[in-house]
């Protein structure tokens, strides 16, 4: 059926665009030089060479949907991946999650030390803004996009979601509170990935609204799937310790709803995301592919 064919074509597209974001990031991050070389090395260590690059794929797919240039797509995708990379460096540090391994290699602070890891994360934030600001787009489009990046990564977005997570360790949470936290902690940067290209080319407000709608649904679906995988997949498949949420007594969609209802919820959210993409129209096939891939991932 067309699903399988589109799935195959999607994997080829995704592989191509994973190469593309890698090249863009390598171009935007300076080589090691001067005595601050160790910090540049630390930045490159966490930004390059890895991950599913879901945020970059969303930015590229969204750029295709709205007809943004490849330059705009590269700058949007790279800025979002840089914010994501900094957040992982800081999250892994001893004062946060104290994780020693990520994606099968030692975490940044284990390799470079806590001080350099903190500085590398600190330096990736302004670099993400610089990359966005340097896109070949109208000044007003860039300002609108930069505002969204600031909000998505800041106190009302990712950093604020982290703070809520921190404040709720070991406490029961309602589903509404859990969704609010995830909308900030991971959803906001998914939204940035999806919406930045449209803002940069000053797409009309209806399209921006549809994309925001799409992003909110896939962002939440992503987290529900994460919780289901943590409860059902093996550590080997996941590439990280499975069953960690239950062991940490963390509130999750599985602990609140059970596995079957959580799986059904993820499917419903994915359907809503796809409906939003369809309302928007345009060249939306890749966006829909990414939504399916995020819902059906096994790790």
- Kindly list the residues in this chain that would bind a copy of itself in the complex (CB under 8 A): 30, 34-40, 43, 86, 90, 93-96, 113-116, 118-119, 121-123, 125-127, 129-130, 133-134, 138-140, 142-143, 146-147, 149-151, 153-157, 159-164, 166-168, 177, 180-181, 184
In the bound complex, what is the minimum distance in angstroms from residue 44's beta carbon to a copy of itself?
11
CB closer to a copy of itself out of 17 and 44: 44
Cα dist. 252→85, 169, 171 in Å? 24, 12, 12
Closest to a copy of itself by CB, 17 vs 90, is 90
Q: State the minimum distance, in angstroms, from the CB of residue 146 to a copy of itself.
A: 5
Taking the least distance from each CB to a copy of itself, the nearer of 203 and 295 is 203
Which CB sits closer to a copy of itself, 26 or 293? 26
CA dist 199 → 17, 98, 230 (Å): 21, 36, 35
Alpha carbon distance 221, 244 (integer Å): 19
Among 127, 154, 142, 111, smallest CA distance to 24 is for 127
Q: How far is the CB of 18 from a copy of itself (least distance, A)?
A: 25
* Distance from C-alpha of 136 to C-alpha of 268, rounded to nearest angstrom: 37
- Measured from the CB of residue 21, what is the shortest distance to a copy of itself in angstroms? 20
Q: Minimum Å distance from CB 64 to a copy of itself? A: 25
Could you give the CA distance from residue 57 to residue 293 in angstroms, rounded to a whole number?
11
- Judged by beta carbon, residue 4 or residue 95, the one nearer a copy of itself is 95
**Closer to a copy of itself by Cβ: residue 164 or 256:** 164
To a copy of itself, the closest distance from the beta carbon of 247 in angstroms equals: 20
> Bridge-partner residues for 102, per DSSP?
105
**Shortest Å, Cβ 95 to a copy of itself:** 4
Whole-angstrom Cα distance, residue 46 to residue 217?
Answer: 28
Sign of dihedral through CA atoms 24, 209, 211, 190? positive
CA distance 89 to 242: 21
Closer to a copy of itself by Cβ: residue 156 or 297: 156
Element (H, E) at 11: helix 2-28
| Among 89, 76, 12, residue whose Cα is nearest residue 50 | 89
């Amino acid at each position: 059926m067309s699903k399988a064919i589109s799935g195959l074509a999607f994997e080829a597209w995704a592989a191509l665009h994973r190469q593309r974001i890698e090249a863009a990031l390598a171009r935007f991050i300076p080589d090691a030089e001067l005595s601050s070389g160790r910090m540049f090395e630390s930045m490159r260590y966490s930004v390059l060479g890895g991950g599913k690059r879901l945020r970059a794929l969303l930015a590229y797919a969204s750029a295709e949907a709205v007809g943004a240039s490849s330059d705009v797509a590269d700058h949007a995708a790279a800025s979002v991946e840089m914010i994501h990379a900094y957040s992982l460096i800081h999250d892994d540090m001893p004062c946060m999650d104290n994780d020693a391994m990520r994606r099968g290699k030692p975490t940044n602070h284990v390799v470079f030390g806590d001080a350099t890891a903190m500085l590398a994360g600190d330096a990736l934030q302004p670099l993400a803004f610089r990359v966005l600001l340097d896109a070949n787009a109208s000044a007003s489009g860039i300002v609108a996009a930069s505002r969204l990046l600031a909000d998505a990564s800041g106190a009302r977005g990712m950093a604020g979601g982290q703070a809520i997570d921190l404040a709720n360790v070991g406490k029961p949470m309602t589903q509404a509170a859990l969704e609010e936290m995830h909308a900030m902690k991971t959803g906001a940067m998914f939204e940035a990935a999806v919406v930045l290209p449209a803002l940069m080319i000053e797409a009309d407000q209806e399209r921006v609204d549809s994309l925001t709608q799409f992003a909110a649904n896939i962002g939440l679906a992503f987290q529900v799937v994460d919780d289901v995988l943590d409860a059902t997949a093996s550590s080997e498949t996941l590439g990280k310790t499975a069953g960690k949420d239950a062991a940490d007594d963390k509130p999750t969609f599985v602990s609140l709803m059970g596995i079957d209802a959580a799986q059904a919820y993820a499917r419903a959210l994915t359907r809503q995301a796809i409906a939003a993409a369809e309302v928007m129209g345009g060249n939306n096939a890749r966006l829909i592919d990414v939504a399916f891939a995020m819902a059906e991932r096994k790790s």
